[in-house]
């Protein structure tokens, strides 16, 4: 498997599939000095690479949710066929004798009852473990890990079986030690950052005027830095040499600035930045009352309260915020998350199920 091509599906939150594939192509080139071919589909993109290269991407890709190892594809119109295919696979090479959590998705298929599908899968794993006994060493490597996930997708009677190499979703970086009020998910923040900076080179100031727990500051600082948390692939029975994790060379750098009106939120941000060993100049001001700042070539990205999870008293707050930023900061890009759509240069996405727009000014 080390030198043969393996198929991976990189799962991405919509509408960032194309953007995430561009991130992967860039970082794969920086990591392995090779061109990566991606095939974008709804919900993510497919790649064919050597196994160790595919799992290594867990540490470097910031926009995706999961990296799935595609193990089998086959026609399947009934439960006996599903049982036969799954039970004859040597799962012990990956997860020992553990039974994973099943994530099942069916569409336009004769197999539509997910409860019956899951029951069949459980029985097929029992049979596989009886047929292919795991050694003591294989059991020891997998016993303590609790996040093995197997994805079963049956569309038009075509079944794809994929093993989750990430475990917990990739947006859980384990870098922030405290969470603020109504934060944006880390991978969504990374997507908005990459959309803004992907064509830029050189040195810039980065400013989040309502920084909360510091998600945008951490994500922009760590965009080319590997995430070192635990991943499911490290607990697979199959052995690979663990990758040497180093920061990727990039052609962009930042001085970091953050501000928040709340002293409590600012303290949370300071604690998180200290944990990540990130240098950032923080200030505690009401953004609507700040004076002109000497931040030339500034990139501003912020997630202000918009009345859904954090209430705002002034219905005209967003417009006042935009006008104030325009008046006091010489910015190059200014991106703001909002419930409202600007007339141009927007991205539409969801955070915590809430439909949002990312507007540029």
pLDDT digits (tens, 9 = 90+) for 132-186: 988 887 888 888 888 899 999 999 999 999 999 999 999 999 988 888 777 899 9
The domain made up of 186-360 has a fold known as Rossmann fold (3.40.50)
Give residue 246's pLDDT.
94
Report the chain's mean pLDDT, rounded to a whole number. 93
Q: How much is the pLDDT for 283?
A: 96
Confidence of residue 244 (pLDDT cuts 50, 70, 90): confident
Cβ proximity of 206 and 257 under 8 Å: yes
Q: Position of tokens 């199959």?
A: 238
Q: List 357's β-bridge partners, or say none.
A: 338, 348
Candidate CATH numbers 3.30.70.940, 3.40.50.300, 3.30.2130.30, 3.40.630.40; the one for domain 5-164: 3.30.2130.30
Return the exposure string of 78-90: e unless at least 16 CB atoms fall within 10 Å of the residue's CB, then b: ebebbbebbbebe
Backbone φ and ψ for 218, nearest 5 degrees, come out as -65, -45
Residue 239 has pLDDT above 80, yes or no: no
Condensed to tens digits (0 to 9), the pLDDT of residues 260-318 reads: 999 999 999 999 999 999 999 999 999 999 988 889 899 999 999 876 655 666 678 88
**Domain residue ranges of the chain, discontinuous segments joined by +:** 5-164, 186-360
Residue-wise pLDDT for 103-142, tens only, equals 999 999 999 999 999 999 999 999 999 999 888 878 888 8
- Residue 307: the pLDDT is 60
pLDDT, tens only, 182-228: 789 999 999 999 999 999 999 999 999 999 999 999 999 999 999 99
Residue 161: CB partners within 8 Å, gap ≥ 6? Answer: 70, 71, 72, 73, 85, 86, 89, 150, 151, 152
CA separation for the pair 97, 76 (Å, rounded): 25
The Cα–Cα gap between 106 and 154 comes to 5
Tokens for 44? Answer: 């993510």
Flag whether pLDDT at 2 surpasses 60: no
Contacts from 119-125 at CB under 8 Å and sequence distance 24+?
120/79, 120/82, 120/83, 120/86, 121/82, 121/86, 121/150, 121/152, 123/83, 123/87, 124/82, 124/83, 124/84, 124/86, 124/87, 125/86, 125/87, 125/91, 125/99, 125/100
Give the pLDDT confidence of 330-361 residue by residue, as tens digits: 999 999 999 888 866 678 999 989 999 999 98
Answer whether 358's CB lies under 8 Å from 192's CB.
Answer: yes
Q: Is the pLDDT of residue 245 over 60?
A: yes
Instruction: Indicate the Cα dihedral angle 285, 289, 291, 296, nearest 10°.
Output: 70
What average pLDDT does range 59-72 have in this prediction? 98
Are the C-beta atoms of 61 and 206 separated by less than 8 Å? no
Q: pLDDT at position 124, please? A: 97
* Predicted pLDDT of residue 309: 54
User: What's residue 254's pLDDT?
Assistant: 97
% the chain with pLDDT above 70: 96
């Amino acid at each position: 498997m080390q030198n043969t091509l393996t198929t991976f599906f990189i799962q991405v939150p919509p509408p960032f599939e194309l953007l995430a594939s561009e991130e992967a192509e860039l970082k794969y080139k920086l990591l392995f000095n090779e061109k990566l071919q991606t095939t974008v589909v709804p919900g993510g993109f497919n790649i064919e690479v050597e196994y160790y290269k595919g799992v290594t991407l867990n540490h470097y890709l910031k926009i995706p949710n999961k990296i799935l190892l595609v193990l089998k594809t086959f026609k399947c119109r009934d439960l006996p066929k599903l049982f036969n295919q799954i039970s004859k696979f040597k799962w012990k090479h990956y997860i020992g004798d553990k039974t994973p959590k099943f994530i099942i998705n069916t569409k336009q298929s004769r197999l539509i009852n997910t409860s019956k599908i899951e029951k069949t899968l459980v029985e097929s794993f029992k049979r596989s473990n009886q047929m292919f006994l795991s050694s003591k060493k294989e059991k020891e490597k997998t016993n303590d890990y609790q996040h093995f996930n197997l994805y079963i997708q049956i569309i038009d009677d075509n079944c794809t079986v994929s093993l989750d190499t990430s475990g917990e979703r990739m947006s859980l970086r384990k870098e922030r030690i405290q969470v603020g009020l109504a934060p944006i998910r880390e991978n969504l923040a990374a997507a908005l950052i990459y959309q803004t900076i992907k064509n830029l080179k050189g040195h810039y100031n980065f400013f989040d005027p309502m920084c909360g727990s510091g998600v945008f500051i951490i994500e922009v600082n760590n965009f080319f830095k590997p995430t070192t948390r635990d991943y499911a692939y490290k607990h697979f029975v199959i052995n690979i040499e663990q990758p040497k994790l180093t920061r990727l060379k990039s052609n962009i750098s930042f001085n970091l600035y953050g501000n928040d009106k709340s002293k409590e939120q600012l303290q949370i941000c300071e604690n998180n930045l200290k944990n990540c060993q990130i240098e950032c100049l923080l200030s505690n001001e009401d953004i609507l009352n700040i004076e002109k700042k000497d931040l030339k070539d500034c990139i501003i990205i912020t997630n202000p309260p918009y009345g859904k999870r954090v209430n705002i008293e002034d219905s005209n707050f967003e417009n006042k915020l935009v006008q104030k930023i325009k008046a006091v900061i010489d910015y190059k890009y200014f991106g703001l998350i909002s419930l409202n759509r600007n007339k141009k240069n927007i991205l539409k996405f969801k955070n915590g199920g809430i439909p949002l727009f990312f507007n540029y000014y």
